[in-house]
Amino acid sequence: MKTVNKQIAVNVLIALSAFILFLLLFLDQIELPDLLQSIGRMHPVLLHFPIVLLLISFVFVCIKKTPGNNTWSAMEEWFLFAGAALAGLTAIMGIFLSKESGYNDEILFIHQWGAIVLFFIAVILYIFNKRFSQKIIAARIFAISGTVVLIISGHYGGELTHGSGYLTGPLTSAQEQKQVAFQDAMIYEDLIRPVFAAKCQGCHNPSKLKGQLSLTDSAMLLKGGKSGRLFVHGSPELSLIMERIHLPESDKKHMPPAGKTQLSRAEEDLINAWIKDSARFNVKIASYPEEDSLRKMAIAFLPVRKEEKFDFAATDESKMEKLNNDFRKVRPIAANSPALAVNFFNNRGWSAKSIEELVGVKQQIVSMELHKVPVTNDDLKHIAGFVNLRRLNLNFTQITAEGLVHLLPLEHLQSLSLTGTKMEMESLQRYLNAAKSLNQLAFWNSGLSKENIRSLVAANKHIRINAGNEEEDQMMLQLNKVQLKNSSSVFSETAFLQLKHPIPGVDIRYTLDGKDPDSIVSPVYNGKDKVDKSVLIKARAYKSGWISGDITEFRLYKSRYKPDAVQLITAVHERFPALGTESFFDGKIGGYSQYGDRWVGFSAFPMELLLLLNDTVNLRSVTINYLSNPPAGFFPPGSLEIWGGEDVQHLKLVRKKNLPVTSKDEKLNISSAEINFDRQKLKWIKIIAHPQTFPSWHKAKGKLSVLLIDEVLLN
């Protein structure tokens, strides 16, 4: 086997060494062209070759060779030269790639310098072997050192690519995955965070901030990344994270990227439902009503805790069914379990007999829900007969702390909820002193001062007491956003303003002049308010004892006339056809995602829309709604033209309007362009909207942007 040409090999390695040193000294002063950035992105593809070649060559150096065996020496020389040369090329690509943002500086530093040191070890070892082949021990020291550096650098390279703890992730995740009881499970910690950890955190973590976004904790989730906030509380259809999830997998902005493990449909629905519920963090799943969709989803996602074994027999199924009625539901806590849970949910059907009727299954009942049922202290005497009761919910009932003494016979009672009841410090503490099996207690808004709560927590460290703290008070007591319940955002003459809030007794204050509503001056919504023109509505919920909700914005649009026939003269953008002409007059305004059946796109050609009205109308304005997102290439129209007349063959220009050039700082928004004119009697109307040319600040300057249009309003 022929050996490597010594002089050529050394020259190649010296050239690579010089170029790497040049890059390290002057890279900060160099603006890389697009071609070199693309070459840099080949770094992860090429790096596997030098790793294998160098490992093989290091093994050759360390093993004992038979004297005079030139084949082994030649193989060692070829592997070492090829590995060193490719390591140099890979290091150069890595230096190019490091110019891109989104990497943890500390990990990048270790990985980059480790790779550079590895390259120089390989170069020195190659030259050393050529000149001092008899120095076997020294060569082996170089080889072993190179192996150690390769392992360290490779490890940190993996963390850059896949996130911190990637190597040990399967081990630690298996150890950390906890079996959580349904009653203890938190909506974010036990449902949402594990999805992000499994599918998203490989690229979005403090070690690898792709898009300047980390999904490792709630604070970073709320902050968002380079493209803005991840979600709009209560509005998944307006949320960036759902937009990216629903993009086609071939789209470069689709998340997770193509080639990565994708979210399941159930996981997508889970995140969607969480955002729709205002993306709350410190909320227990068990606090949701049984019929709530988010609670139902949780059952399928939560790790199953080992079922408790019960020493009593199951009850007859027909006997259990007879106990179910309009205000009470009795069911097994799990499949094939003899234990039962009972839920009372209609206080109008409540009486003391409601408890007494369950005496036939008192051995089997381990969980009882009496939330907002008018239970009194006397009723607790009957509840004490359910000797196997583990969990009891008495939230917002009429019991007091003095009545808790009746529950002391419940030797298995572990969880007790007393939120919204009247508690008194001394009586509650006496009960806790005697309740030996109790390990969880909740009593929000029960009349106890913060000093009392602190004393109870300090005196009962064996019990997990949940009575609120300042952070949780804000989370639990902040009102949700106001909701708009109008069936359509577009009306013809007048429209009743239909605002709603899920919590009863809330004051909804609103404005129609663009100002933020306050709790004093702004009018209170009464259900009788009307609007007769296009308006921006800002609404906010207030209630005594609660944190006011976030301001919500809605728009109602007036369109007095609807054409009887619509014709689209020009071709639409192939990626944004929506529903064609139907999208312009369906009374529905598109959301912040450009995809779907709302936004119709134009780019190569202006939008030319021809409208026919069976009756001549007095028209004074035309408005088009558009979606603008300059960073993504979606711009407002550059100009509008309105043509009209009684005859389609003789249309005249009614008005032309040029719109301002879009600024570099404009963000994602839904807006409208209105063109007003003196009243015209028109039967035929042609609307022409020209896409805006990319301005000078845009990298595609001079080319046509994409114009996205939805509803068209005629007044």
pLDDT in tens, 530-540: 888 888 899 99
Beta carbons within 8 Å of 166's beta carbon, 6+ residues apart: 158, 159, 202
Strands 440-442 and 415-417, sheet pairing: parallel
Answer whether residue 488 is part of any domain: yes
pLDDT of 91 > 90? The answer is: no
CATH number at residue 42: 1.20.1420
Same domain, 367 and 508: no
70 by DSSP, 3-state: which?
A: helix
- Looking at the structure, tell me whether residues 277 and 343 fall in a common domain: no
Residue 168 forms part of a structural domain: no
Q: Is the pLDDT of residue 595 over 80?
A: no
The string of pLDDT tens digits covering residues 230-254 is 888 777 877 888 888 887 777 778 7
pLDDT digits (tens, 9 = 90+) for 125-168: 887 776 666 567 777 887 888 888 888 887 777 766 655 555 54
What percentage of the chain carries pLDDT values higher than 90?
A: 16
Confidence bin at 259 (pLDDT 50/70/90): low
Strands 507-511 and 490-491: unpaired
Compute φ and ψ for 332, nearest 5 degrees.
-65, 150
CB-based burial, 64-85: b 16+ in 10 Å, e otherwise: eeeeeeeeebebbbbbbbbbbb
Query: 309 in a domain, yes or no?
Result: no
469 and 323 both lie in a single domain: yes
Considering the domain boundaries, does residue 175 fall inside one?
no
358: domain CATH number? 3.80.10.10
In a domain, 185, yes or no: yes
End of a domain among 558, 576, 596? 558
Task: Looking at the structure, tell me whether residues 215 and 239 fall in a common domain.
Answer: yes
Same domain, 582 and 515: no
Q: Are both 338 and 250 inside the same structural domain?
A: no
Q: Read off the pLDDT of residues 622-645 as tens digits, 9 standing for 90 and up.
A: 999 998 888 778 899 999 999 999
Domain assignment of residue 170, yes or no: no
Co-location of 49 and 151 in the same domain: yes
d(CA 696, CA 33): 20
pLDDT of 184 above 80: no
The residues with which 438 forms a beta bridge, in sequence order, are none
Domain boundary among 558, 591, 622: 558
Number of compact structural domains in the chain: 5
What is the number of alpha carbons within 13 Å of residue 638 lying toward its C-beta? 16
pLDDT band at 476 (very low <50, low <70, confident <90, very high): very low
Residues 454 and 505 in one domain: no
Q: Which of 538, 558, 578 represents a domain boundary (last residue)?
A: 558
Mean pLDDT score, 586-615: 83
CA distance 175 to 172: 5
**What is the predicted pLDDT for the residue at 176?**
43
Residue 349 lies in a domain: yes
Instruction: Tell whether 374 and 258 lie within a shared domain.
Output: no
Euclidean distance between CA atoms 637 and 689, whole angstroms: 6
CATH (domain of 680): 2.60.120.1190
Q: Residue 512: give its domain's CATH number.
A: 2.60.40
Q: Indicate if 571 and 544 belong to the same structural domain.
A: no
Domain span at residue 625 reads 565-714
Global pTM reads 0.41
Cα-to-chain-centroid distance, residue 667: 20
Q: Is 169 a member of any domain?
A: no
CA atoms within a 13 Å half-sphere pointing along the CA-CB vector of 47 = 26
Same domain? For 438 and 487 the reply is no
Residues 437, 424 share a domain: yes
